[in-house]
């Protein structure tokens, strides 16, 4: 690679090199009228309803992995954070921090992915920023996306809305993203199809909100870092109830289970990037399950447990053999075991 096809400090200068990057790369792949105006901020039409606003930064090594890359994560992650409050995502911002020397071809692959992903999701990138930091001060590319969404009047989805008796649904297999990244980082090659589950959840959420009677969908959480275990702990704490889940009902791919066995990891703590936990009033649980299973991202949805009166903030797993154990939140990064 020569210096002609990599990121230079000049690309973050705000001068001609920056302009070339914007017009030659960003506008080419992320084009829409609001962004193309290249104003200092995006001005959005007023929308009825309440505003949801979320931000997230993305640092991942490796930046490309089976099932996605840092760009797809940056789009899906913020869309999902908005959707978890019952919001319809309206638009995203995109801020890039690039390390001097980053291969331009790699950057283009990321930007193309961001363009495709945001178009498929119907959520445009309407404003952005780029900075370049000296080589060695970063790790290829860091991304921040912020997003604005609209919450329809009457919709109130939050952890504090979870109620005793609520049924807990998971929208598909757990751990796919976390184990894919960990095995790639470790250079462990396994047979099978380990791939990140990076996917947008806003359509699944809007299908649920449209079909279920108002007030029946109580809580949504996307179990990203910390996994299903940590999200359930947060819900149990916020609601002052005990979440009881059944090990046999939790969807998980065989490849993920096998990789977890090898590395001594518990899939309940692995990150997901295209899954959500939904807490639904018990009389509507079956209906919610069918709706989730009818979506492209929720085919493997399952009922995994219920919220019960008990020790406030506790999560209890009923194990395969009929025993039970407490599932605490994640402490520190999951580390592979010695043997």
Site residues, another protein (CB under 8 A)? 186-188, 254, 257-258, 261, 263-264, 266, 317-326, 328, 331-332, 335-339
Length of the chain: 339
> Which residue, 191 or 210, has its beta carbon nearer to another protein?
191
Would you state the structure tokens that stand for residue 324, as one six-digit string? 């039970």
Q: Least distance in Å: CB of 180 to another protein?
A: 15
Least Å distance, CB 178 to another protein, is: 14
Q: Could you tell me the smallest distance in angstroms from the CB atom of residue 262 to another protein?
A: 8
Query: Cα(107)–Cα(184) distance, rounded to whole angstroms?
Result: 20
Taking the complex as a whole, the smallest distance from the CB of residue 338 to another protein amounts, in Å, to 4
Contact between 21 and 130 under an 8 Å Cβ cutoff? The reply is yes
Which structure tokens are listed for 122?
A: 């119907």
Choice between 112 and 263, CB closer to another protein: 263
Pick between residue 38 and residue 335 the one whose CB is nearest to another protein. Answer: 335
Q: Of the candidates 114, 41, 40, 107, which has an alpha carbon nearest to the alpha carbon of residue 77?
A: 114
Based on CB atoms, which residue is closest to another protein, 233 or 301? 233
The minimum distance between CB 219 and another protein, in angstroms, equals 24
Distance CA 246, CA 244 (A): 7
Distance of alpha carbon 144 from alpha carbon 142, whole angstroms:
7
Q: Of 2 and 189, which has the nearer Cβ to another protein?
A: 189
The beta-carbon contacts of 183-186 under 8 Å, at least 24 apart in sequence, are 183/259, 183/263, 184/62, 184/65, 184/66, 185/61, 185/62, 186/263, 186/336
DSSP E strands in the chain: the ranges are 50-58, 64-65, 68-69, 88-99, 125-133, 141-151, 167-170, 217-221, 242-246, 277-280, 302-308, 315-318, 324-326
CB nearer to another protein: give 14 or 264.
Answer: 264
| DSSP structure class, residue 243 | E
| Least separation in angstroms between CB 327 and another protein | 8
Residue 11: exposure state from Cβ atoms within 10 A (0-12, 13-18, ≥19): buried
Could you tell me which of 23, 260, 59 has the C-alpha nearest to residue 140?
59
The nearest distance, CB 260 to another protein, in angstroms, is 10
- Cβ 334 to another protein, closest distance in Å? 9
Closer CB to another protein, 28 or 325, in the complex: 325
Q: Which is nearer to another protein, 182 or 291 (CB)?
A: 182
């Amino acid at each position: 690679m020569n210096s002609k096809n990599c990121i230079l400090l000049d690309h973050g200068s705000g001068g001609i090199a920056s302009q070339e990057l914007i017009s030659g790369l960003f506008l080419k792949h992320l084009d829409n009228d609001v962004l193309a105006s290249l104003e200092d901020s995006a001005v959005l039409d007023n929308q009825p309803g309440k505003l949801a606003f979320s931000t997230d930064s993305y640092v991942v090594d490796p930046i490309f992995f089976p099932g996605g890359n840092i760009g797809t994560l940056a789009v899906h992650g913020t869309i999902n954070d908005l959707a978890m409050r019952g919001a319809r995502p309206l638009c995203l911002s995109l801020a890039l921090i690039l390390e001097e020397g980053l291969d331009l071809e790699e950057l283009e692959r990321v930007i193309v992915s961001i363009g495709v992903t945001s178009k498929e999701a119907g959520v445009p990138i309407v404003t952005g920023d780029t900075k370049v930091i000296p080589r060695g001060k970063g790790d290829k590319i860091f991304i921040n996306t912020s997003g604005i969404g609209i919450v329809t009047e009457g919709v109130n989805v939050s952890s504090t809305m979870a109620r005793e008796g609520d049924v807990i649904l998971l929208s598909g297999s757990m751990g796919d993203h976390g184990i894919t990244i960990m095995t790639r980082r470790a250079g462990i090659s396994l047979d099978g199809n380990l791939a990140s589950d990076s996917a947008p959840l806003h359509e699944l959420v809007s299908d649920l909100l449209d079909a279920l009677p108002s007030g029946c969908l109580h809580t949504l959480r996307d179990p990203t870092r910390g996994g299903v275990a940590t999200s359930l702990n947060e819900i149990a704490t916020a609601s002052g109830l005990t979440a009881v889940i059944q090990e046999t009902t939790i969807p998980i791919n065989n490849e993920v289970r096998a990789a977890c066995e090898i590395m001594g990891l518990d899939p309940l703590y692995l990150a997901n990037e295209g899954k959500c936990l939904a807490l639904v009033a018990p009389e509507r649980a079956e209906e919610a399950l069918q709706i989730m299973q009818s979506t492209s991202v929720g085919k493997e949805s399952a009922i995994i447990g219920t919220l019960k009166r008990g020790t406030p903030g506790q999560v209890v797993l009923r194990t395969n053999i009929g025993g039970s154990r407490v599932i605490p939140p994640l402490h520190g990064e999951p580390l592979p075991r010695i043997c």
